[in-house]
Structure 1
Amino acid sequence: MEQIIVIRISDPDGSIFRSIMGALQGKDVQILHAADLDPSALTLGDIQIFPEQRRVTKAGVEIRLNYGEFSILYCMARCPGRVFSREQLYNAAWGEDYELGTNTVDNTIWRLRNKLEPDPKHPIYIKTVFRVGYKIEANKQ
């Protein structure tokens, strides 16, 4: 019988971990860290995002994105359906405070749509949320 045990604790000195490992001594144990379970690629329909290489493909063809384009796409793709304000996306891409009135995020979204959407004027992946910001729609084909 296979069992899965999930433990999440604050263990600054590691004593709890050592106690648990002592109790499991001699048992068939596999330790997985949550960080190791992150997918190597995020998938949105025919778009795949490879964060470790900062690489994006569409239908298997590599799409060249600049630093800001990739950063904004990756930020939204990690949380499909979540609405991000322009300020949040700007900060995620450039790590700076957003200056009101700048259209940098809007221009970056426009370029992303032109590179990734089948019909940029009627996007299926990158949606505008009126007066709020942008979001990624997941599971689109």
Structure 2
Amino acid sequence: MCAYVLVAEDDIKQAAIIGRYLEHEGHVPRLVHDGRAALDEIRRRPPDLLVLDVMMPVVDGLEVCRILRRESDLPVLMLTARSTEEDLLLGLGLGADDYLTKPYSPRELMARIRGLLRRAERSSPASRSPVLRAGGVTVHPLRREVLVDGRQVDCTAGEFEILAVLAAEPERVFTRQQLLGVTRGTHHYVTERTVDVHVLNLRKKIEPDPRRPVHLLTVYGVGYKLAAAGPGAGGEDRRAY
């Protein structure tokens, strides 16, 4: 597929290298060098994917991601020189769909971009069903839309994939490793804590009280499931981890 990819990177040489690789793969890149320019460009012409450096002038990448997630579910690949797990989880917690630390190989970057574009293009693994329902949660895989008690909820690509898989089989318990495979394929850099971050973000969006979830439930020592019925079904371990 040919995609329009916005690259927000304050290192002009690095941005140009990324742009050349994108062009070589048949994509159309647009390069900007600060966070404010990135937000302006996204609002002017929404791209298919955003490659976002964390350390940028005017508005940094983390703030760009925070603002963007209030407005869009645009796939975001975050680039950073910070390599600790806490930094990774912070980026994912703000809604980034993937995270690559510097220095990185351009080939790995392109592989990540291809993966995100495929995920954005295809329906979820549960897309054989036109509408998935579990309690008050409704997932439209083909439209990539989530409703909770009739209220539309915006989800990132990773959050949507997890929710769609859970909604396809309500009450089935999925391990963190299984859900990690849904959101990251065969990539092993991130840990199972990545899934926990996505779950925490989803609970903020779909639960009446994220501290006492009634939809997206923890099965202690195993993983997560989506309740088939709404509040009051009873019997589940509803501790929010």
Provide TM-score, normalisation by structure 2.
0.40
Distance 1:131 1:67, change over 3 A: same
Displacement of 1:101 in angstroms is 4.6
2:230 counterpart residue number: 140
1:86 aligns to 2:171 (yes or no): no
1:40 counterpart residue number: 130
User: Counterparts in 2 of 1:36-75, with a 5 A limit?
Assistant: 39-75=129-165
CA displacement 1:14-43 (0-9 Å, x = unmatched): xxxxxxxxxxxxxxxxxxxxxxxx542112
1:127 counterpart residue number: 217
Instruction: Judge conservation of contact 2:134–2:170 (CA < 8 Å) in 1.
Output: no
The CA distance in 2 between the partners of 1:60 and 1:119, in whole Å, is: 17
CA displacement 1:36-78 (0-9 Å, x = unmatched): xx54211223221001011101222211000000000111111
Instruction: Judge conservation of contact 2:136–2:229 (CA < 8 Å) in 1.
Output: no
The CA distance in 2 between the partners of 1:101 and 1:39, in whole Å, is: 30
Instruction: Judge conservation of contact 2:135–2:227 (CA < 8 Å) in 1.
Output: no
| Secondary structure class of the residue paired with 2:172 | coil
Identical amino acids, percent of aligned pairs: 37
1:106 counterpart (174, 181, 196): 196
User: Comparing both chains, which one has the higher relative contact order based on Cα–Cα distances under 8 Å and sequence gaps of 6 or more?
Assistant: 1
Provide TM-score, normalisation by structure 1.
0.67
Instruction: Judge conservation of contact 1:42–1:49 (CA < 8 Å) in 2.
Output: yes
Deviation beyond 4 Å, 4+ runs, structure 1: 97-102
The CA distance in 1 between the partners of 2:189 and 2:174, in whole Å, is: 16
1:17 counterpart residue number: none
Q: What amino acid maps onto 1:139 in structure 2?
A: A
Displacement of 1:106 in angstroms is 0.3
Larger radius of gyration between Structure 1 and Structure 2: 1
What is the Cα-based RMSD across aligned positions, in Å? Answer: 1.8
Which consecutive residues of structure 1, in runs of 5 or more, have no partner in the other structure? 1-37
Number of residues of Structure 1 aligned to a counterpart in Structure 2: 104
The CA distance in 2 between the partners of 1:86 and 1:73, in whole Å, is: 13
Which consecutive residues of structure 2, in runs of 5 or more, have no partner in the other structure? 1-127, 232-241
1:95 counterpart residue number: 185
Displacement of 1:133 in angstroms is 0.8
Q: What amino acid maps onto 2:166 in structure 1?
A: M
The CA distance in 2 between the partners of 1:97 and 1:69, in whole Å, is: 17
Q: What amino acid maps onto 1:87 in structure 2?
A: Q
| Secondary structure class of the residue paired with 1:52 | coil
